[in-house]
Structure 1
Amino acid sequence: MAKAKVRAGACGFTTVIKVKKIDKLKVNVQIISACTDIRNLNEDLAEVDCSKGVFGSIVDSYIYKAASKRLHNSDCPVPCAIIKTIQVELGGALPKDVVIKITNDD
């Protein structure tokens, strides 16, 4: 099982994503978060068929389409983390951290 922990930033929410492979291109995604919008993604991602647009362009990605229905903030990093975690579980990516560090040097 691949896992990711996302500290989303200004909203203050932390999200844990767990992805378990069901078969060659199907995974189960479980999301644990205090954010109601993020938790609601569980309804769409209980079983994800990765052969159907998960890894395509952002506008065609099943994950981003589900997120666009559920999330109110386009800057949420969780959808990207879901895709990265799926990639790791399916063996298509190494489990490496992604870091976004934002400063205001004014």
Structure 2
Amino acid sequence: MTTVEINAGICGFTTLVYAEKTNGYNALFRLESQCPNWQKVNELLGGQEMDLMAELFKNRQTGEFHSILLETVLKTIPHISCPVISGIFKALEVSAGLALPKDAAICFKE
């Protein structure tokens, strides 16, 4: 299981992402979050198996992107810049062995 902790910034909310490979390039996640919006995403998608090739990559033939996670986030989360979005995708990617675990950061410099 891959676990990621995301401190979202000025809102002060922390979200834990637990991602787990099921089989092949399929995985599932669940969230623990102080944010009511991310709690809603967990209610909708937490524990649901996802095809990570469809979630993470565009279709090579059509160039279209079909992500259930992103579609749900766009309907549920009030602002697109929330770093939890990319944190969930990274956790899923690492859980399936499609990427290596490495911390990332957004740091503001004055």
TM-score, scaled to structure 1? 0.86
Describe the superposition over 1:20-40 as per-residue Cα deviations: whole angstroms up to 9, x where unpaired: 112112222110001010111
Q: Is the 8 A contact 1:26 1:47 kept in 2?
A: no
2:99 counterpart SS class = coil
1:94 aligns with 2:95: no
Alignment of 1:43-82 (within 5 A): 43-51=44-52, 53-57=54-58, 60-82=66-88
Q: CA deviation at 1:49?
A: 2.1
Give the letter aligned to residue 38 of structure 1: W
Runs in 1 of length 4+ with deviation above 4 angstroms? none
Contact 1:52/1:62 (CA < 8 Å) preserved in 2? no
TM-score under structure 2 length normalisation = 0.83
What SS does the aligned partner of 1:54 have? helix
Identity of aligned residues (%): 26
Which ranges in structure 1 are unaligned for 5 or more consecutive residues? Answer: none
RMSD: 1.9
**2:3: which partner in 1?**
3
Question: Would you say how many aligned residue pairs link Structure 1 and Structure 2?
Answer: 104
CA displacement at 1:74 relative to structure 2: 1.4
2:91 corresponds to: 85
